[in-house]
Structure 1
């Protein structure tokens, strides 16, 4: 997206002293997904609402299969199926629409908006969410790809390693199951997943848009954890975990180990910190530090923006992950920004 020769400014920022100048309108999203940022900004520039901008921006990532971790054709579960999670939240009305474990529908963020606008519910999951989407006119399509099939085949060839099982027999470290519950002593408290953090496997796009009238919307979209147990829903579609927006205070969106992060509602907590007057960067850092008390080596990051257009980010340092990249577009232009992890 953007004009020929478009190269965003890249800014390296210190986690301890970064304070962004407040400017509106604002688009900010996790990871250097530049086309998604530009699509959201162009939507605002052409007169679209903040809701439209978040939907179009996340849809761009779904279409492009950003890093294979957003949209169709990536992150197969244990059965080899790709399923999607997404959420959108209107900070003016505190309305939410979300889908989890969505099957056969590519436009997850748009289905989430349909849940918000055409039902009295906030979250639909699984096959029933897919049927809802089809009733709303969304096309049913196969979400697998040659890439996802290859990932799944390779995983099977390695006896289903790594996986998300624990305290089962036969041993999840040496076999594919089926598993049964293992009685007796459980693993140590706060056991981290066996997965090795891969900074090139980013997962969620989380996006915040604030328009000139200070209407704030946040959204997320992801195809979840690779090799997840079928039926798993991560933090992305959970209000207050994957994202949260309140136009009287600000918004936040998280990315990383969803099964850990969702236990702390980091996006909601960051917004509440900003409501109390805390700067966005400080709010982001505080929610990361809170999780680190329980999970010192977890992989995760969060972006925050207050109602005036100030923004910030923070991430948790772990092996292979020392910096977090995110995108910003405001009247000063577009920039890929980098923050040191804490």
Structure 2
């Protein structure tokens, strides 16, 4: 019995050691391959995009590969494409109206070489949200501008002011109001937000647990994009019109560093979209 236990222990320990060696060597090979690839331009440039927003990917790829543009340029061009084409109606104008039937935009861009960021939240009446975010990155010492004053910032730099609402987005908002504003993002208010529209006032009772606000495959998406250019510089960006029927003034995850996306030349990049 003791002999069998020793044999079993030897086998298990040996297998564990082999696994550790395999992953250690494998990781070393992987890092060496990445370093070699960057040094020799074997696998670069790279464009990665969430969802099936292929036109955005193609435009970003055209910029970074055919025109040898920077990773920041590719991110801006790719996200701009989705803003113009209203990808899934979760990006750009004419989608996700708030309770007042207005569409507002969130966007973010990050330079992995400098770790600098630029973002806008609840941006009103400016279609090129990610471009304004880049202006925050490159032309200010700030990280994020929001709301009406973010719009004024954009207009001061020459961006055209125009409504982000469409007949379709307003119709969707009015249809939502006809079904007692369901779902919505209110809690612990009166009248009961699960059965009625506002205006609301705070309840003078114990705070209840949050309810399910009905987030589904039709109420998230958003474009998240990563790029590595021929020089190995990483950039990340996001653009979104936020959650449908949001409370006016809400800023989502998309323009928040580390929540919407992130880039670091020494590590890589990541993007996550939706709530």
- Whether these two folds match at TM > 0.5 is yes
1:221 matched residue in structure 2 = 239
Cα distance in 1 for residues equivalent to 2:218 and 2:200: 31
State the shift of 1:182 in Å: 1.0
> Does the Cα contact within 8 Å between 1:31 and 1:202 map onto a contact in 2?
no
The residue matched to 1:159 in structure 2 has which SS? coil
2:115 matched residue in structure 1 = 94
Cα distance in 2 for residues equivalent to 1:180 and 1:206: 36
The residue matched to 1:111 in structure 2 has which SS? helix
Alignment TM-score, normalising by the size of structure 1 = 0.67
2:56 matched residue in structure 1 = 36
| Structure 1: gaps of 5 or more residues | 1-18, 258-342
1:138 matched residue in structure 2 = 159
> Does the Cα contact within 8 Å between 2:123 and 2:146 map onto a contact in 1?
yes
Q: Establish whether residue 47 from structure 1 lines up as the match of residue 68 from structure 2.
A: yes
2:16 matched residue in structure 1 = none
1:6 matched residue in structure 2 = none
2:146 matched residue in structure 1 = 125
Cα distance in 1 for residues equivalent to 2:228 and 2:215: 35
> Does the Cα contact within 8 Å between 1:67 and 1:202 map onto a contact in 2?
no
1:160 matched residue in structure 2 = 181
Cα distance in 2 for residues equivalent to 1:244 and 1:50: 13
Higher strand share: 1
> Does the Cα contact within 8 Å between 2:118 and 2:136 map onto a contact in 1?
yes
Structure with higher Rg: it is 2
Cα distance in 2 for residues equivalent to 1:179 and 1:202: 26
Q: Establish whether residue 150 from structure 1 lines up as the match of residue 182 from structure 2.
A: no
State the shift of 1:193 in Å: 2.9
Cα distance in 2 for residues equivalent to 1:211 and 1:159: 49
State the shift of 1:202 in Å: 4.1
Cα distance in 2 for residues equivalent to 1:133 and 1:203: 26
Report how many aligned residue pairs link the two structures.
235
Cα distance in 2 for residues equivalent to 1:218 and 1:55: 9
2:133 matched residue in structure 1 = 112
The residue matched to 1:88 in structure 2 has which SS? strand
Higher helix share: 2
State the shift of 1:185 in Å: 2.6
State the shift of 1:159 in Å: 1.2
Cα distance in 1 for residues equivalent to 2:81 and 2:264: 24
Cα distance in 2 for residues equivalent to 1:243 and 1:112: 13
State the shift of 1:186 in Å: 2.3
Alignment TM-score, normalising by the size of structure 2 = 0.83
The residue matched to 1:76 in structure 2 has which SS? coil
Cα distance in 1 for residues equivalent to 2:207 and 2:135: 42
> Does the Cα contact within 8 Å between 1:207 and 1:219 map onto a contact in 2?
yes
State the shift of 1:213 in Å: 1.5
> Does the Cα contact within 8 Å between 2:69 and 2:229 map onto a contact in 1?
no
> Does the Cα contact within 8 Å between 1:203 and 1:223 map onto a contact in 2?
no
2:249 matched residue in structure 1 = 231
1:195 matched residue in structure 2 = 214
Q: Establish whether residue 212 from structure 1 lines up as the match of residue 230 from structure 2.
A: yes
State the shift of 1:200 in Å: 4.1
